[in-house]
Structure 1
Amino acid sequence: MTSEIIDKKVGARVFFKCEHLQKTGSFKARGALNSAVLAKENNAKGVYSTLYSLKQIAHSSGNHGQALAWSALKIGVPCTIVVPKNAPSAKIDGMREYQANIVFCEPTMESRESICAELAEKDDKLYVDPHNCVSMINGHASIVFEILDQVGEHIDSIFISVGGGGFASSVAFLIGTLRPDIEVYLVAPEQKELSNLLENGVQCSVSTLNTMADGVRVAHVGSLCEPILRKFCKKRVLNVKEEEIKDALKLIWTRMKQRVEPTAALAFAGVLYHKPNHIKCPLVVLCGGNVDADYIIN
């Protein structure tokens, strides 16, 4: 998608890759489908994963959980999701619609890890981590082939929101390998201190970020993702303020009429407020659109 009004406001020709219109409402379907296929090929008895604490999934519909449940149903393997007891019913219902088996845990890291360990040992299911997972990272790479086929001759850069880093590292690696002339920019809330990690090896001091972009509240990128991001995007990190995310979200909602989630607006905020002057044709990945029906931009 494109928007003449946004082009004028940004001062560049901006392309939007609409992953919020993807199956289950986010890019997560790509990696999840790959994971379900591999589970079936390897004769696993199913796939399982977790949602994190309630604080980390508020306002979204559990993108990873829904994507994995849909993919497992599509491929024909059982799916189990470990969910905190205090998770909103809307999140649970979304996964149950795809016939996922919901296992409740206490809203603590210890309880979640304990139940996951039991599932792995007892049921012989393949664990699919939302971020730090080879099958997820490899599956996400399908977006790169689409982007290059659709607008590869028109763009000079890609702007992508960064949480755990699975999606970003996938895009950064494949673009860096196939089209190094296209610059990949990592957009993150300023609290994440991603530049400090990639340049100095210093991790963020907190584990969860306080940001409206709930899909990237995980503060640390995965161990598989970090070296990839350091190699390809070390000097291309954009730190965004909360007000900038909010402004970007309003602009997409009102001018493009696309109800994306705040995490998708984060990537656009990088273009809107922090685009390097030499970038003339950026592509923004609108990573997801799972936002509660009653969510209001304050």
Structure 2
Amino acid sequence: MTTEISVDEMRAAHKRTAPFIHNTPIMTSEKIDEKVGAHVLFKCEHLQKTGSFEARGALNSAILAKEQNAKGVIAHSSGNHGQALAWSALKIGLPCTIVVPRNAPVSKIDGMKEYGANITLCEPTMSSRESVCAELAEKLESFYVDPHNCVSMINGHASVVFEVLEQVGNEIDSIFLSVGGGGFAASVAFLIGNIRPDVEGEYRIYLVEPEQKQLSKLLEEGVQCDVETLNTMADGVRVAHVGSLCEPILKKYCTKTVVSVKEEEIKEALKLIWTRMKQRIEPTAALAFAGVLYHKPAHIKRPLVILCGGNVDTNYVIN
């Protein structure tokens, strides 16, 4: 199993996983362009296998785990990572166990079960998730695929960047994405930072967070958020702290590009995508768009928004 985050490993992961995942489309909306005052492009990862970008890193991790003769894979997840890992394990023939917080959306738990995962419930805290996961990983002799702090996940996620650059690389001036534990953000920032010479100029990566997270304090001052789990409708980014592998990458490339949004802004962004584009994204995906809709810097004219997932709990939306 590789222990290095590198462009070469990211290229290898892209080649390794490409036959099994979707090259997701880019969508636009004239109405949204008018409202935002810019030409907004959307990378539709909500249409990815299992309904989120997580399939990219999870499949890369599962393939490498099997090559190392692991007896299975295990992770903790509130939904998307668990579904992605369960699908990946099913695809290559490995047992999969997911440790799930009790407050995870029912639709996401059901999704994990449909892909054959063994579910173990835990308390809705990061310490509980990690301790239960570590205990089971040792007992089952399974490879632990951390959703936020795993080299093979970070390398695997980067395939989305190769696709974007091939599809619209010369048409965009920035990328906006939702940030939780930091794995996806670190992957995108690292690859762009190493293959785009203008990354320190106008071409920037914007990390969009729920306002309670306060990632800027960590990146600029080294001060961690004083809560463990965020209270936000964007359930995919409720983890308050970023992984230790991710932190130095985000400090290098994204210190000045953190965007904090309010819950009402996430809700309105979600509503706009659902009604104008007819795309059933989840609140965590709407978070990234909220950053553009309400907080886009004036000089940004062609932002790309990564719609990270579409595994929405329909009962939640209806209510």
After TM superposition, is the score higher than 0.5?
yes
CA RMSD of superposed structures (Å): 1.7
Deviation at 1:105, TM superposition (A): 4.1
Are residues 1:133 and 2:145 paired?
A: no
One-letter amino acid of the counterpart of residue 293, structure 1? T
Partner Cα separation in structure 1 for residue 131 and residue 193 of structure 2: 38
Deviation at 1:292, TM superposition (A): 1.2
String of CA shifts for 1:51-72, please: whole Å, max 9, x gaps.
Answer: 3xxxxx4xxxx11111000000
Deviation at 1:93, TM superposition (A): 2.5
Identify the residue that residue 39 of structure 1 maps to in structure 2: 65
Native 8 Å contact 2:179 2:237 kept in 1: yes
Are residues 1:259 and 2:289 paired?
A: no
One-letter amino acid of the counterpart of residue 43, structure 2? K
Identify the residue that residue 173 of structure 1 maps to in structure 2: 190
Identify the residue that residue 234 of structure 2 maps to in structure 1: 213
Deviation at 1:293, TM superposition (A): 2.0
Among 292, 297, 308, the alignment partner of 1:271 is 292
Deviation at 1:243, TM superposition (A): 1.4
String of CA shifts for 1:125-182, please: whole Å, max 9, x gaps.
Answer: 1001111111111110000000000000100100010000000010001011111432
One-letter amino acid of the counterpart of residue 267, structure 1? A
Partner Cα separation in structure 1 for residue 219 and residue 94 of structure 2: 38
Identify the residue that residue 81 of structure 2 maps to in structure 1: 64
Secondary structure of the residue that 1:283 maps to in structure 2? strand
Deviation at 1:222, TM superposition (A): 0.7
Deviation at 1:10, TM superposition (A): 0.8
> Normalized against structure 2, the TM-score is what?
0.86
Point out the more displaced range, 39-48 or 287-296: 287-296
The aligned runs of 1:1-298 (5 Å cut-off) are 1-51=27-77, 57=78, 62-84=79-101, 89-105=106-122, 112-181=129-198, 182-296=203-317
Partner Cα separation in structure 1 for residue 211 and residue 125 of structure 2: 26
One-letter amino acid of the counterpart of residue 28, structure 1? E
One-letter amino acid of the counterpart of residue 99, structure 1? G
Point out the more displaced range, 277-286 or 177-186: 177-186
Partner Cα separation in structure 2 for residue 103 and residue 233 of structure 1: 35
Shift of the 9–112 alpha-carbon distance from structure 1 to 2, 3 Å rule, reads closer
Native 8 Å contact 2:56 2:159 kept in 1: yes
Point out the more displaced range, 85-94 or 41-50: 85-94
One-letter amino acid of the counterpart of residue 6, structure 1? I
Native 8 Å contact 1:246 1:297 kept in 2: no
Shift of the 107–209 alpha-carbon distance from structure 1 to 2, 3 Å rule, reads closer
Unaligned ranges ≥5, structure 2: 1-26
One-letter amino acid of the counterpart of residue 163, structure 2? E
Native 8 Å contact 2:209 2:260 kept in 1: yes
Shift of the 211–223 alpha-carbon distance from structure 1 to 2, 3 Å rule, reads same
Secondary structure of the residue that 2:316 maps to in structure 1? coil
Q: Percent identity?
A: 80
Partner Cα separation in structure 1 for residue 182 and residue 126 of structure 2: 20
Secondary structure of the residue that 1:219 maps to in structure 2? coil
